[in-house]
Structure 1
């Protein structure tokens, strides 16, 4: 009886999925409200992008540390602490009196998400026994996250237009309190095996390196070349320090040996590319629709939902094709498809009708995004030992979030640098260049596919290993 399944496990899963849905929703819903936030609060040129980027940077930069903390201190306990911090920071976001206050609060939200996400997923893993039930639970968890990303555009529009942008943050509070109240009743506490350190030095150095990098990109259009170069060198120095910390740490956040696998490196480059392109393109499209065209937040949400729908369809097709022919050709083809979609988006003008350009551009890009994300994720985990599976999964999520923050910064800087005025036509000229610049991200992903091993070669290598 001691090893019998928890009778409340499906209720526990529903509660955990609610928390996971909220975390992913918060990353996407804010994009709808960015133009409204920029109008009401004071930001420097291009500074509003810190609202989505601050969350993504802290989330991605501290995600692996958050997983380690939950393993050592107890997953349910850390989950509850993360929920309380998420609720408090959401209130602070809603009551923000300036752009700086909102960016600070969004950073706190990202920290909370960095401990919430891995602790919730770890509880899912420990609640369900290995086998069919766990696979089903993980499938539901993944589907819920996907719906969270899709729902951001649909929910954000009505909330922003009807209640005000502050309510996209206030709605988190009752959800957090509900999960906190039910967690002791439905969730079992657990800890990871063994005694390990936290590697705070590694988390601080890599997060600081990312923040300096994004700041350098954001300020590049209005800063001198010397200052931008200096910031880039500081960021590179911090990344180098992070590598040294990981080499000497007894319990590193990311054991450097994992990067000996070409599949891990290639898969994570592909995942980072999708973060770069998807977040960056979505951010620029928000600016185009609401600032250049004057589209309402509700209408923008409906217009952009086609991207999410195409991504869902693409992921279903991609999963079936990867099973048959392997991840490498699907990843490469999907990246090219997404590049074509961004090229279509670059044809938009002030007078473009939605069904003339945007609908087709978003649909094509979304289809590539869905299929390519699946291929990249499978590739990144294909050669990982069971003992490293949790860390590899966390690394994959972290690279996607970090890519999102950098992607927003880069495409926003490209748009600002190619805009010479505030008239709609002048704004659109910058946005068109930014859409076309997505090909630079696609190139990074194609390098990643070049590192993946083809299916035939992988089979030959496996046969050789068995023979040896």
Structure 2
């Protein structure tokens, strides 16, 4: 029972963080109207959260390894809860964007150490697979839940409550974490201090990369920022190869399962998260759905994914192995996204949207828990927080990448069709189709990584070596 309570606390914290990535989407029109955001400035309500979130996960995970994962989780959750209250109280764009940035910092600290705590609390292969399945459901389906909750709160009350709801939930979760999460040792054996130079380099590289992705500009600006990010990343690799106590020991990337699972996670997260964003736009601008109906339309993804992740995925991993489950799941995700790519202007939910939702739910329920199992399978107790931070980082950077790429392709295709004289609704639909097709290609690329990089299946009994 104590383990189950601890897992509930960790997953509640993760749900709060993931919800905040998508819950804002359906409230953006209301936020723009009330606070006077420009169209370009409105994107920063999302970007201000994603930049620190995607940039600080590795650092937070390593600090958790070196100091205390429990302490980092609780501290991040407190910061996230306080920043949520500030977001709800915001009465101008500057205040909201600043509070969202702080939210991203707290979210990174909270989520970076969760997988590391799970693999150390649940050492048995079967119980760990089940625990990771619960975590993966929360992490993956939380995006769809966010759309539903955002729609309900925006329609029933107002957009401020998409942030205020975090305050009581966060306060209760902090109290429960202090009581139920086990204490971990302050400094792992043989490790002392934090590699500050490495931390600065990797954080700068990731922040520059995410900023370049979510805030595209002209070719000169983009190339310049990409060059800065590349230089910082090269400096980080050199630093980690020579540091006495590196922030990220490069040896961890010798694991094919860790490297392959993270690359597949990067690509599949780009497709899935970008699809949620573009799907909201299609439902709103083409189908004419209001905020609540948009949230309800994505509910099947959550229900199906939850049913698989919580009840069956651990058994499937134990029977067939994580690799086979990832392959099947990513194939189903690609099929769902390809089905989405045929959406018509006069689409009907039951025939044109629901089948894709069901395929995405089935694929996500299989693929994401199995990817987490592959990524964490060879993590030692001292490196569990690092492996967790790496896995979460690839998910969040992938999400930012997917959002930027799919939104850019969609708007570019729309502009091109409109310039050619295509009616507005037809042009919008054409843009969304291209975005969905690109998302399917990303999922297939993730599938190709697993098939080629992990040719030898990883035995489910070897998923945990701690």
* Structure 2 equivalent of residue 239 of structure 1: 233
**CA, structure 1 residues 428+405, in 2 after alignment: closer, same or farther (shift >3 Å)?**
same
Structure 1, 443-452 or 322-331: larger mean CA deviation: 322-331
For the residue of structure 1 that corresponds to 2:188, the secondary structure is: coil
How far apart are 1:305 and its partner, in Å? 1.0
How far apart are 1:149 and its partner, in Å? 4.5
Q: Give the conservation status (yes or no) of the 8 Å contact 1:150–1:309.
A: no
How far apart are 1:399 and its partner, in Å? 1.1
How far apart are 1:284 and its partner, in Å? 0.8
Q: Give the conservation status (yes or no) of the 8 Å contact 1:65–1:198.
A: no
* Structure 2 equivalent of residue 453 of structure 1: 455
Where do 1:338-349 residues align within 5 Å? 338-349=333-344
Once the two structures are superposed, residues 152-188 of structure 1 have per-residue CA deviations (whole angstroms, 9 ceiling, x without a partner) of 2332211011111221111111223334455555556
* Structure 2 equivalent of residue 4 of structure 1: none
The correspondence for 1:362, drawn from 330, 354, 357, is 357
Is 1:417 paired with 2:412?
A: yes
> RCO higher in 1 or 2 (8 Å CA, sep ≥ 6)?
2
Distance 1:232 1:44 in 2: 27
Once the two structures are superposed, residues 279-308 of structure 1 have per-residue CA deviations (whole angstroms, 9 ceiling, x without a partner) of 110011112212343311111111011122
* Structure 2 equivalent of residue 371 of structure 1: 366
Structure 1, 142-151 or 237-246: larger mean CA deviation: 142-151
* Structure 1 equivalent of residue 205 of structure 2: 209
Distance 1:198 1:19 in 2: 25
**CA, structure 1 residues 107+433, in 2 after alignment: closer, same or farther (shift >3 Å)?**
same
Q: Give the conservation status (yes or no) of the 8 Å contact 1:31–1:282.
A: no
For the residue of structure 1 that corresponds to 2:345, the secondary structure is: coil
How far apart are 1:408 and its partner, in Å? 0.9
Distance 1:186 1:65 in 2: 25
For the residue of structure 1 that corresponds to 2:23, the secondary structure is: helix
* Structure 1 equivalent of residue 192 of structure 2: 196
For the residue of structure 2 that corresponds to 1:212, the secondary structure is: helix
Distance 2:92 2:163 in 1: 15
Over aligned residues, Cα RMSD in angstroms? Answer: 3.4
Distance 1:133 1:446 in 2: 25
* Structure 2 equivalent of residue 68 of structure 1: 62
**CA, structure 1 residues 88+417, in 2 after alignment: closer, same or farther (shift >3 Å)?**
same
Q: Give the paired residue count.
A: 449
Q: Give the conservation status (yes or no) of the 8 Å contact 1:57–1:207.
A: no
**CA, structure 1 residues 328+14, in 2 after alignment: closer, same or farther (shift >3 Å)?**
closer
Is 1:175 paired with 2:169?
A: yes
**CA, structure 1 residues 196+37, in 2 after alignment: closer, same or farther (shift >3 Å)?**
farther
The correspondence for 2:30, drawn from 25, 36, 42, is 36
Distance 1:36 1:258 in 2: 45
For the residue of structure 1 that corresponds to 2:206, the secondary structure is: helix
Is 1:91 paired with 2:93?
A: no
Query: Mind listing any 5+ residue stretches in structure 2 that lack a counterpart?
Result: none
Q: TM-score, normalised by structure 2?
A: 0.83
Where do 1:198-347 residues align within 5 Å? 198-220=194-216, 223-313=217-307, 315=309, 319-347=314-342
Distance 2:448 2:214 in 1: 25
Query: Mind listing any 5+ residue stretches in structure 1 that lack a counterpart?
Result: 1-6, 463-468
The correspondence for 1:407, drawn from 385, 388, 402, is 402
Distance 1:120 1:228 in 2: 34
Structure 1, 290-299 or 40-49: larger mean CA deviation: 40-49
Once the two structures are superposed, residues 199-250 of structure 1 have per-residue CA deviations (whole angstroms, 9 ceiling, x without a partner) of 3443443343334334434454xx4333332232222222222222322333
* Structure 2 equivalent of residue 113 of structure 1: 107
* Structure 1 equivalent of residue 445 of structure 2: 444
Q: Give the conservation status (yes or no) of the 8 Å contact 1:290–1:300.
A: yes
Distance 2:71 2:261 in 1: 33
**CA, structure 1 residues 411+138, in 2 after alignment: closer, same or farther (shift >3 Å)?**
closer
Distance 1:34 1:261 in 2: 41
How far apart are 1:438 and its partner, in Å? 1.0
**CA, structure 1 residues 84+313, in 2 after alignment: closer, same or farther (shift >3 Å)?**
closer
Q: TM-score, normalised by structure 1?
A: 0.83
**CA, structure 1 residues 137+64, in 2 after alignment: closer, same or farther (shift >3 Å)?**
same
